[in-house]
Amino acid sequence: MTFATLQNIIYSKSMKYFFLFISILLFSCKEETKKIPDFVEKIIPSTDILYAKGFSVEKQPSGVTIIKITSPWPNAEAVFTYALIPKEKAASMTLNRDEYDAIVTVPIENIVVTSTTHIPVLEALGVENTLVGFPDTQYISSNKTRALIAKGQIKELGQNETINTELLLELQPNLVVGFSIHNENKMYETIQRANIPVVYNGDWTEETPLGKAEWIKFFAPFYGLEKKADSIFQDITNNYLAAKELAAKATNRPTVISGAIYNDVWYLPGGKSWASKFIEDANAAYMFKDTEETGSLSLSWESVLEKGKKANFWISPSQFTSYKDMTANSQHYGQFDAFKKKKVYSFAGTTGETGGLLYYELAPNRPDLVLKDLIHIFHPDLLPNYIPTFFKPLD
């Protein structure tokens, strides 16, 4: 199961934290002062993390960068700490391996990633050519990376939960970026025993649009591209905040519902979730905004109908792309005003050439585009000539 698939399941049934840290021990005694190696110095901040809650980046004056992940999966108690050593200094430095979950020599030259959300980050940084392997390549939508797959530069590694470790070990990547839903992953342990560093990425656990997008700053230190990542993220932030400010000018605030029925249960975003935040910033009223869940809600269709029957818009009705398909799945949908008035919008119809959903790949990295899509839907007069990237009306 790829991360795109996992997001699909979690989002429709409900939808990462790296926190960068290092401990420095300064040894001293009463009778003499011992010289402290230059790589054991006071840490200075190297990257300001403004929105993401799941990771931090710190750089020592020696050039060693420490990345710490505090929540690689929801409700995780585990914390992962990684040390990045510049190649030119690796021979002269000795770090205590027991203090780090991985030590990586940087900049890296090749990489294996495991989530489609990692693909846009590599492309934005201009390092997509370093990708040598990926599980379930069919879910990758980007034309640029698909071209590399077609050329054989990116090897198919099977499914995420059962990666072909033999093939991965043959590739000998400098780094594997993984994700997990729990703390038991023997596959990653096998890779690490082969002296291939594995680091966890927790972008998917962030609860705010800009928090997810800021994980580009997690990837950047592995390539020495921190300044480029800062610039890219600043542009995304500026675009997002400008769109939010534009939405605030709307004189009306339409009501919105989301989700769909699966096995007699209606799954929809919680009131404190990533998806709910988009609706709020687009100056619309999510009908379940008052709920406390940061993930998903699981409700009966009757309770959703009671509260959301008269909602003006319906966003993200699971994987449906047409009103006919929705009706065939459940006659209950026809009772909602948004359905009757053809005001249902979905990202499910925007796919790559092999069927992967572009939203699951690009949306976490480009929240500004998602927000503009929703503003165009809720307040078309504010963006009259805008062409949506993800959300389109159902057929």
**What would the pLDDT profile of 120-135 be if each residue is shown by its tens digit?**
999 999 999 999 999 9
pLDDT at position 16 = 31
The reported pLDDT for the residue numbered 26 is 25
Class of domain 238-393: alpha beta
Identical fold at 16-224 and 238-393? yes
**183: number of Cβ within 10 Å:** 11
Cβ neighbours of residue 359 closer than 8 Å, sequence gap 6 or more: 347, 350, 370, 390
| Dihedral, CA of residue 116, residue 119, residue 124 and residue 130, to nearest 10 | 170
Query: Could you tell me the two tokens for 5?
Result: 């698939």
Q: Are 259 and 187 in contact (CB under 8 A)?
A: no
pLDDT at 182: 78
Using CB atoms within 10 Å of the CB of residue 260, give its burial: 0 to 12 exposed, 13 to 18 middle, 19+ buried: buried
Q: Is 221 exposed, middle or buried (0-12, 13-18, 19+ CB in 10 A)?
A: buried
User: Where are the chain's structural domains?
Assistant: 16-224, 238-393
Cα 219–chain centre separation = 12
What integer pLDDT is reported at residue 185 of this predicted model?
79
Packing angle between helix 226-247 and helix 367-378, nearest 10 degrees? 10
Residues 6+ positions from 258 with CB-CB distance below 8 Å: 268, 269, 275, 279, 286, 314, 315, 316, 317
Report the chain's C-alpha Rg in angstroms: 23
Angle at 207 between CA 205 and CA 213, to 5 degrees: 80
Instruction: Name the superfamily (CATH) of residues 16-224.
Output: Nitrogenase molybdenum iron protein domain (3.40.50.1980)
Question: What tokens were used for 296?
Answer: 């998903």
**Per-residue burial over 56-93, b = 16 or more CB atoms within 10 Å of its CB, e = otherwise:** bbbbbebbbbbbbbbbbbeebeeebbbbbbeeeeeeeb
Lookup result for tokens 């209606």? 266
Residue 65 is predicted with a pLDDT of: 96
What does the angle CA 35 – CA 41 – CA 43 come to, to the nearest 5 degrees?
Answer: 170
Query: Along the 395 residues of the chain, how does pLDDT read in single tens digits?
Result: 443 444 443 333 333 322 222 222 222 232 333 333 333 333 444 468 999 999 999 998 888 999 999 989 988 888 999 999 999 988 888 888 889 999 999 999 999 999 999 999 999 999 999 999 999 999 999 999 999 999 999 999 998 778 999 999 999 999 999 988 877 778 899 999 999 999 999 999 999 999 999 999 999 999 999 999 999 999 999 999 999 999 999 999 999 999 999 999 999 999 999 999 999 999 999 999 999 999 899 999 999 999 999 999 999 999 999 999 999 999 999 999 999 999 999 999 999 999 999 999 999 999 999 999 999 999 999 999 999 999 999 99
Cα–Cα dist 157/123, whole Å? 20
Q: Which position has the token pair 């996992």?
A: 6
Closest C-alpha among 77, 52, 68, 74 to residue 181? 74
CA distance 354 to 19: 35
Ramachandran assignment for 43, one of left (phi > 0), alpha (psi -120 to 50 degrees), beta (any other): beta
Q: What pLDDT score does 333 carry? A: 97
pLDDT at 162: 83
Q: Quick one: pLDDT at residue 254? A: 98
pLDDT of residue 166: 95
- Residues 218, 170: Cα–Cα separation, whole Å: 26
